[in-house]
Amino acid sequence: MSEGPASPRTEVKRLPARGRYDRETIDAILDEAFVCHVGFVIDGRPRVIPTTYARAGDTLYVHGSPASAMLRSLKRGVDCCVTVTLIDGLVLARSAFHHSVNYRCVVVYGTATEVRDPEQKMEAMRLLVEHIVPGRWDDTRWPTAKELTATTVLALDLNEASAKVRTGHPVDDDEDYALPHWAGILPLVTTAGEPERDTTGSPAGEPVVPDYVRRYRRP
């Protein structure tokens, strides 16, 4: 595990004590979140695009239509920045100035490469499905050769990655601790609601909600 930033780009300069460079922290954040935001420059214009992703070891996978401007740019070797953020709570201070949020985030820099090998591409698709709903891949029709062709999959190494984490209660100015305003943390968590069955074209009878759906929880 790294004790410091992998590169100058990954060094946390604003509130450096919140920086985390160990892969255990980085991987845990990536494995819990759903959506990343990919930043890149195309035709001189900056873009930031949200998309789903999956991690396997030292590699981050993203996918989409071959017509996607983001994917077409990234597979040409355009430098990119990928960010992932989890919000754990609202930090309510006595002063408006010191309000904050408890969060965990990861920033990854690098260049992506296209996954062309059919077996590797299929495995990346499996990882993408399993990252969202573990157990789902074996309970679906797998992509056909035509569908794989109609999907672009890119891989990004996690060589340049860092995390930043804020935890704990508000930090007010000393003179504000005597104020009568309530202060503390309002925790936020992602929870699953009641599953809603799609009845379009459903077979006769009432399909049983799969256990992996009924018991769904994020890491």
- The CATH code of the domain that includes 86 is 2.30.110.10
The total number of structural domains in the chain stands at 1
Band the pLDDT of 207: cuts 50, 70, 90: confident
Assess whether pLDDT exceeds 60 at residue 116.
yes
Comparing 216 with 43, the larger pLDDT belongs to: 216
Is 147 a member of any domain? yes
Question: Does 177 fall in a domain?
Answer: no
Q: How confident is the model at residue 101 (pLDDT cuts 50, 70, 90)?
A: very high
Say which residue the tokens 């996690």 belong to: 158
Place of tokens 């190494």: 157
Question: Rounded to whole angstroms, how far apart are CA atoms 76 and 99?
Answer: 42
Parent domain of 85: 8-172+203-214
Rounded distance, CA 135 to CA 56, Å? 16
Task: Please provide the average confidence, as pLDDT, over all residues in the chain.
Answer: 93
**CA–CA separation, 40 vs 71, rounded Å?**
10
